[in-house]
């Protein structure tokens, strides 16, 4: 039996991936999965200690890793992150916009403050716009790339107490669709993944039954599927649900 080649075992070898919000939860699981497939990883987050812990775990895969603290609602932080990634690791071939928060996005709209609105929309929606705006011109130059936005089924369904969070995720759905149309002419695919409830440290609406929710690794699997799709195909949206209904 012939041995498995490196290109088969690590199909993303030579690719550079930037994952935002990768110090924990879904972002860290995505980074680990793509590292196992051979990619070099640039990861960012606001908590330097958690970020370094994630980087240490990634390097044990092993993987080439750049871990840089960044607030992806700030253009200056994003510019520094993208520059460091391209300089130290190489051209970014895949961007995963994962940074997001739950609270203070839950609760009746009349009880929410303008500061709550700004925090949720800036983190969940504006950050995807800002990071994509920084990375897309580089991908256009190379006429190649993938951008994957991590949304939520809350971006397709409304529920009581979800006004701010749903607004951010519905907005992300619209942003993704328009970006896809703007960029596909340059060979760039923009996709969105919409998970249901995921068992992470994410601050959501309350306790979750572990048997009736997704794992962060389930979302990472979906990201890997998009990253490995054939060059002629374009999976624009993935809806991901637990088998058991919550």
Tens digits of per-residue pLDDT, 32-51?
A: 999 999 999 999 999 999 99
C-alpha–C-alpha distance, residues 76 and 149, integer Å: 21
Other CB atoms within a 10 A radius of the CB of residue 98 amount to 28
Asked if residues 215 and 243 have their Cβ atoms less than 8 Å apart, the reply is no
Number of domains, the chain: 1
Report the pLDDT averaged over residues 106-127: 98
Q: Is residue 225 part of a domain?
A: yes
228: phi then psi, degrees, rounded to nearest 5: -105, 5
Q: How far is CA 149 from the centre of its chain?
A: 5
C-alpha–C-alpha distance, residues 108 and 161, integer Å: 5
In this structure, what CATH number is given to the domain that contains residue 231? Answer: 3.40.50.720
| pLDDT over 80 at 200, yes or no | no
Q: What is the pTM of this model?
A: 0.94
Report the pLDDT averaged over residues 93-115: 96
Q: Is residue 144 part of a domain?
A: yes
Instruction: Write the CB contacts of 182 (distance below 8 Å, at least 6 apart in sequence).
Output: none
List the end-to-end C-alpha distance of the chain, in Å, as a whole number. 45
Q: Is residue 6 part of a domain?
A: no
Q: Which position among 33, 162, 165, 226 bears the catalytic label?
A: 165
pLDDT digits (tens, 9 = 90+) for 156-177: 999 999 999 999 999 999 999 9
Q: Which pLDDT score is estimated for 1?
A: 36
Residue 69 pairs in a beta bridge with 45
C-alpha–C-alpha distance, residues 39 and 57, integer Å: 14
Domain carrying residue 217: 12-240
Q: Is residue 64 part of a domain?
A: yes
Q: Is residue 37 part of a domain?
A: yes
Q: Which three-class secondary structure state does DSSP give residue 49?
A: helix
What is the per-residue burial (b if ≥16 Cβ within 10 Å, else e) of 46-55? beeebbeebb
Report the pLDDT averaged over residues 172-186: 98
Q: Is residue 101 part of a domain?
A: yes
Asked if residues 238 and 222 have their Cβ atoms less than 8 Å apart, the reply is yes
Q: Is residue 206 part of a domain?
A: yes
Q: Could you identify the residue written with the tokens 């930037």?
A: 18
Q: Could you identify the residue written with the tokens 């572990």?
A: 210
Q: Which pLDDT score is estimated for 199?
A: 85
User: Is the alpha carbon torsion for 224, 13, 59, 124 positive or negative?
Assistant: negative
Query: Annotated catalytic, 165?
Result: yes
Q: Is residue 3 part of a domain?
A: no
> Residue 9: which pLDDT band, with cuts at 50, 70 and 90?
confident
Q: How far is CA 63 from the centre of its chain?
A: 19
């Amino acid at each position: 039996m012939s041995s498995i080649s490196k290109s088969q075992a690590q199909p993303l070898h030579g690719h550079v991936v930037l994952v935002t919000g990768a110090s924990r939860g879904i972002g860290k699981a995505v980074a680990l999965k793509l590292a196992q497939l051979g990619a070099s990883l640039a990861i960012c987050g606001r908590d330097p200690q958690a970020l370094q812990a994630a980087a240490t775990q990634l390097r044990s895969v092993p993987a080439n890793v750049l871990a840089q603290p960044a607030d992806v609602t700030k253009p200056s932080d994003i510019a520094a992150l993208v520059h460091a990634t391209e300089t130290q690791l190489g051209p970014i071939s895949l961007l995963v916009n994962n940074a997001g928060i739950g609270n203070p996005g839950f609760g009746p709209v009349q009880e929410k403050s303008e500061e709550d609105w700004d925090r949720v929309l800036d983190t969940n929606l504006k950050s995807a716009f800002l990071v994509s705006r920084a990375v897309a011109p580089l991908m256009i130059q190379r006429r190649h790339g993938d951008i994957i936005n991590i949304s939520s089924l809350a971006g397709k369904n409304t529920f009581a107490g979800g006004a701010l969070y749903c607004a951010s995720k519905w907005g992300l759905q619209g942003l993704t669709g328009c970006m896809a149309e703007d960029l596909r002419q340059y060979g760039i695919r923009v996709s969105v993944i919409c998970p249901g409830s995921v068992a992470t440290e994410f601050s959501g609406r309350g306790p979750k039954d572990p048997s009736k929710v997704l794992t962060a690794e389930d979302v990472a699997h979906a990201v890997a599927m998009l990253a490995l799709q054939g060059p002629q195909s374009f999976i624009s949206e993935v809806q991901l649900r637990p088998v058991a209904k919550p």
